[in-house]
Amino acid sequence: MSRLVVVSNRVAIPGDTRPGGLAVGLLAALKERGGLWFGWSGKATRDASGTLHEQVEGDIRYVTMDLDKHDVDGYYNGFANRTLWPLLHFRLDLVDYDRGTRETYHRVNELFASKLAPLLREDDIVWIHDYHLIPLAAMLRERGIGCRIGFFLHVPMPSADLLQAMPDHLRLFSSLYACDLVGFQTQRDADRFQTYLRLFGGGRVLGDGQLEAPDGRRFRAAAFPIGIDTERIAQQAKAAVGKTAVKDLRGSLRDRQLAIGVDRLDYSKGLPERFLGFERYLERHPDQHGSLTYLQIAPVSRGDVTEYRQLRSQLEQIAGHINGGHAGPDWTPLRYVNQNFTHATLTGFYRSAAVGLVTPLRDGMNLVAKEYVASQDPDNPGVLVLSLLAGAADELKQALLVNPHDLDGVADAIATAATMPLKRRQERWNAMMEHLRRHDINHWRQSFLQELEA
């Protein structure tokens, strides 16, 4: 088996107390084959960019690279998170076009390539992750790297018409031609990429995911919907109900039902709309008044980016408005919390919630939806209210699917979820759980790597 080299903006280095699902899945692959994980150190230093740090744990070598403040601003806060992130989430209204940050993004990708290339061996298999590193494969090829290279986009791939709105889009997206395999979350994402290639990229679609770049180079683009570590999460959730934080939460509800949302504080997650949908629920379903408390956990994310700071104040305002209008002396309908919790604690919270609210305006997949389902008690499962606009909706068809822009629809789905009879809840949950067991995180990375090596 070839050595696996994972490249991503963030690296889950050992000792990280909250490795996410992705980290767990990739670590399993790295352990199995031995490997290297390369990425940004997460720090903005004062020194020049490019200093490497190395750590070895068993068969895995972690190499991270520092970036100076100017590079972090242009590459991460700037082009990745103020241009690409909104563009890829269909938000042209929020996209900031700036030549300066774009050039920094390309230069930082060059820096990744120049530091990574000398560490690579001929028979390595390289797996690059996400929108921060789109041009990297092409830059590695320019340095003579001939090994297998795969790329996986964790976020949505919008239509060619949206991509066209970004100046210099072809320079960026045509760099993916250097890969052997480009993976997307859903078939629709893969299809949109093919259409883009055909319309603007001068490429040919040969069928069955086979694509041909203008220079005749062939590669594949296909869907590999990411999964979770289903069994581990189910066990974790069962054990987590003994944790103090989970017991405290349960005790504080005083027999009321719980609805839960857990999202990074990000405009793609549809939090203002969700809050307003909850308010609509309180208004439209007075019979349920006082019987359900909604806990929204939203750890602050990308706080150096203006749009994220604005969202934070907007949510504070809406949350205050809802509670001001609907709370009683002994009941607060909406608990809005920016604090972060360990992954294990969150699974205990999910298991305590009769309703899971996952209503992004756009999402590549959304793993919270899957984790909420996997965390449920089989004897008394909760109900997932899921946005049609999340990749997860293509798989979790037994959730209550809603359009997150339709506040009445969200309101009624909350009411339906909160009162659904046990038998129907179990039927829906069993069907989703079976899917999650078969398509877990190991299935995801094995199918991607098998195809990349084929």
Q: Please say which residue, 82 or 351, places its beta carbon nearer to ligand G6P.
A: 82
Q: Please say which residue, 34 or 42, places its beta carbon nearer to ligand G6P.
A: 42
CB of 126 to ligand G6P, least distance (A): 17
Q: Please say which residue, 42 or 290, places its beta carbon nearer to ligand G6P.
A: 42
CB of 152 to ligand G6P, least distance (A): 10
Q: Is 304 a catalytic residue?
A: no
- Say how far apart CA 359 and CA 405 lie, in whole Å: 9
- Say how far apart CA 396 and CA 176 lie, in whole Å: 30
Return residues touching ligand G6P (CB under 6 A): 10, 130, 154-155, 301-302
CB of 338 to ligand G6P, least distance (A): 14
- Say how far apart CA 322 and CA 396 lie, in whole Å: 30
- How many degrees, rounded to 5, is the angle at CA 183 between CA 203 and CA 454? 90
Q: Is 106 a catalytic residue?
A: no
CB of 31 to ligand G6P, least distance (A): 21
Catalytic, out of 89, 106, 132, 154: 154
- Say how far apart CA 221 and CA 189 lie, in whole Å: 10
CB of 403 to ligand G6P, least distance (A): 22
- DSSP letters, 277-340, are HHHHHHHH-GGGTTSEEEEEE-----TTSHHHHHHHHHHHHHHHHHHHHH-BTTB-SEEEE---
- Ramachandran bin of 387, using left for φ above 0, alpha for ψ from -120 to 50, beta for the remaining angles: beta
Are 360 and 257 spatial neighbours (Cβ–Cβ below 8 Å)?
no
CB of 155 to ligand G6P, least distance (A): 5
Pairing of the two strands 210-212 and 292-297 = unpaired
Q: Please say which residue, 189 or 412, places its beta carbon nearer to ligand G6P.
A: 189
Residue 303 CA, chain-centre distance (Å), reads 17
Instruction: Tell me the angle at which helices 271-284 and 407-418 cross, rounded to the nearest 10 degrees.
Output: 60
Q: Please say which residue, 154 or 428, places its beta carbon nearer to ligand G6P.
A: 154
Catalytic, out of 266, 363, 412, 440: 363
Burial of 34: CB neighbours in 10 Å, binned 0-12, 13-18, 19+: middle
Q: What's the token pair of residue 15?
A: 């000792």
- Say how far apart CA 37 and CA 60 lie, in whole Å: 8
Q: Please say which residue, 301 or 446, places its beta carbon nearer to ligand G6P.
A: 301
Q: What is the DSSP letter of 377?
A: -
Residues designated as active site: 154, 363
